[in-house]
Amino acid sequence: MSFTQLDPPIPLEVLDKGKGLAIGLIDYGPEHNLIWVTAIDATGEIWCAPNPNVRMRQNWTMGRPKPYAVPDHGCAGESATVQSIARPD
């Protein structure tokens, strides 16, 4: 198991929680998802979100568009579904 403090923090979006800044990353090793330690902007809560539930935010200067749909890759035995985040403008 390893913990990495992110400096500077990385702006992310945690599904079902909202936008926030990732301040750390936990790696439990092979056959485990990375865990993003994220401070949520709207609530100030700290959540540890598994990698399949974390998305990069839109970045116009880097040419990264706002995600419009997020496929569930079926990690940890979850069913394959598509969750809508936002639609492209």
Q: Is this prediction's pTM over 0.75?
A: no
- Residue 72 scores a pLDDT above 60: no
Residue positions counted in the chain: 89
| Type of residue found at 67 | P
Q: Which two tokens stand for residue 23?
A: 């301040």
Q: Sign of dihedral through CA atoms 51, 38, 57, 4?
A: negative
Return d(Cα 18, Cα 85) in angstroms, integer. 10
If we measure between CA atoms, which residue out of 67, 38, 37, 33 comes closest to residue 51?
Answer: 33
Q: Where are the domains of the chain?
A: 2-83
pLDDT for res 77: 43
pLDDT tens figures, 12-49: 999 999 999 999 999 999 999 999 999 999 999 999 99
pLDDT for res 10: 95
pLDDT for res 56: 87
pLDDT tens figures, 50-67: 999 999 888 778 777 776
Collect all residues with Cβ–Cβ distance below 8 Å to 41 and sequence separation of at least 6. 18, 19, 20, 21
